[in-house]
Chain A
Amino acid sequence: ISLLPLQYDLSASTFSPDGRVFQVEYAMKAVENSSTAIGIRCKDGVVFGVEKLVLSKLYEEGSNKRIFNIDRHVGMAVAGLLADARSLSEVSREEASNFRSNYGHDIPLKHLADRVAMYVHAYTLYSAVRPFGCSFILGSYDEDDGPQLYMVDPSGISHGYWGCAIGKAKQAAKTEIEKLQMKEMTCRELVKEVAKIIYIVHDEVKDKAFELELSWVGEVTKGRHELVPKDIKEEAEKYAKVSNCPSDENLDKVCPSSCYICP
């Protein structure tokens, strides 16, 4: 096994002696450097949560959104190079639109995920281009097929999930997600849990300010993918903050002044 990439990592069209394509692995590293995004599928819908790091106080609030609408019934949450993700969201939109134009109905999410994954995979075959440096989670809700959740990574693989996480804190997020009984929860309950998980995995020391982006699609939105309404989002954030509050009267833990939860 070659531990050093040597000259096998210069292009996506080269295998290493131990059968790895290093460029694709490096693309996945780019995703791991980005902040976390999670998607969870419940009984009657799908909820996305993104920890959007705010690098400057001068940024307008709500700029550089990381959750996109692909079609009325499909949403996409991304992690990794945002410009690459935007380009892929355009590709997904075209796929969904062409499908509707040809076949007269909404694109099934599995098919959309397969098509976009195939596109992402194509960029891992040639030396003239580089792989996409982003992973994304697709979610949709349909009366007949119910809620669906798929994740695509830079290698072009897509899997269906009940809950998944991408980005720097994906391991911690996955641990929290596994604790949930999502198959029995409704979207309204899940929104609060998703907000809580994002607050849990956010690293206050390394990354300071962040904006929480929340979106959902399900029976509660009549099958349309939308950002969670302001009042429900505020309630979810409050729940998340209270759950993560380090102060505890019983254990005589005082509210630390350096805590970011209560301003």
Chain B
Amino acid sequence: MDSHHSYSQVKGVSTGVSSLFIVSYVSSKTINKLIQVHDRIFCCIAGSLADAQAVTKMAKFQLSFHSIQMESPPLVKAAASIMRELCYNNKEELQAGFITAGWDRKKGPQIYVVSLGGMLLSQPYTIGGSGSTYIYGYVDAKFKPDMSLEEATQFSTNALALAMGRDNVSGGVVHLVVITEAEVKHVVVPGNKLPKFHDE
């Protein structure tokens, strides 16, 4: 299956104190583009999925080793920095971008964008992929800091539904990952269960 181009994905929304969401959707149910790199840290992948898988595999190993050396769960920033080092030092060969998001004891929920060339940027919310172009206005208008769990889920699902409605190469199924201090929940929402808008 063609896995070389990034599908429309809406990424992490931080609700403030206790939780964080990561959401993505794919054209095939068999591909979940949310890779777990540690207990409370996930990466959304985009670009060449082969490159992205190779990078996350390496990052997962390095992060696991780092966490054991530190004798504590890793910081989200550390995970993002590892991804950044891999992307920057191999920028000639790689074509993959990431959104690293998760929860750590020090700063709570965080989102970091690691772009193609190796830029690292912290954001309260972020979107990526081909379908993201259609929903910049929506997320900028509708995002509020310190949303509750339910509000943030609704926000993400709406944004995705809108993008999937307009972008012809996006669609199918929505993968939602909710990360809190206590647990990680993975929810799958099929396309026909998404909220309906006026874009038909």
Q: List residues of chain A with CB under 8 Å of any chain B CB.
A: 101-105, 108, 111, 144
Q: Which chain A residue lies CB-closest to B84?
A: A104
Chain B residues whose CB sits within 8 angstroms of the CB of A103 once the complex forms: 66, 75, 77-78, 81-82
Let me know if B81 and A104 touch, CB within 8 A: yes
Let me know if A104 and B106 touch, CB within 8 A: no
Let me know if B70 and A102 touch, CB within 8 A: no
Q: List residues of chain B with CB under 8 Å of any chain A CB.
A: 66, 69-70, 75, 77-78, 80-82, 84-85, 105-106, 120
Give Cα A144–Cα B70 distance, bound, in whole angstroms.
15
CB distance from A142 to the nearest CB of B (A): 10
Q: Which chain B residue lies CB-closest to A100?
A: B81
Chain B residues whose CB sits within 8 angstroms of the CB of A108 once the complex forms: 70
Let me know if A102 and B85 touch, CB within 8 A: yes
Question: Which of A101, A104, A111, A144 contacts B80, CB < 8 Å?
Answer: A104
Chain B residues whose CB sits within 8 angstroms of the CB of A144 once the complex forms: 105-106
The interface centre, meaning the residue of A101, A102, A104 with most chain B CB atoms within 10 A of its CB, is A104
CB distance from B108 to the nearest CB of A (A): 12
Chain B residues whose CB sits within 8 angstroms of the CB of A104 once the complex forms: 75, 77-78, 80-81, 84, 120
Chain A residues whose CB sits within 8 angstroms of the CB of B81 once the complex forms: 102-105
Q: Which chain B residue lies CB-closest to A111?
A: B70
Chain A residues whose CB sits within 8 angstroms of the CB of B85 once the complex forms: 101-102
Chain A residues whose CB sits within 8 angstroms of the CB of B80 once the complex forms: 104
Let me know if A105 and B70 touch, CB within 8 A: no
CB distance from B160 to the nearest CB of A (A): 29
- A102-B82, A104-B80, A108-B70 provided; 12 other pairs, C-beta below 8 A? A101-B85, A102-B81, A102-B85, A103-B66, A103-B75, A103-B77, A103-B78, A104-B75, A104-B78, A104-B81, A111-B70, A144-B106
Q: Give me 14 A-to-B residue pairs in the complex whose CB atoms sit less than 8 angstroms apart, sorted by A's number.
A: A101-B85, A102-B81, A102-B85, A103-B77, A103-B81, A103-B82, A104-B75, A104-B77, A104-B81, A104-B120, A105-B77, A105-B78, A105-B81, A108-B70
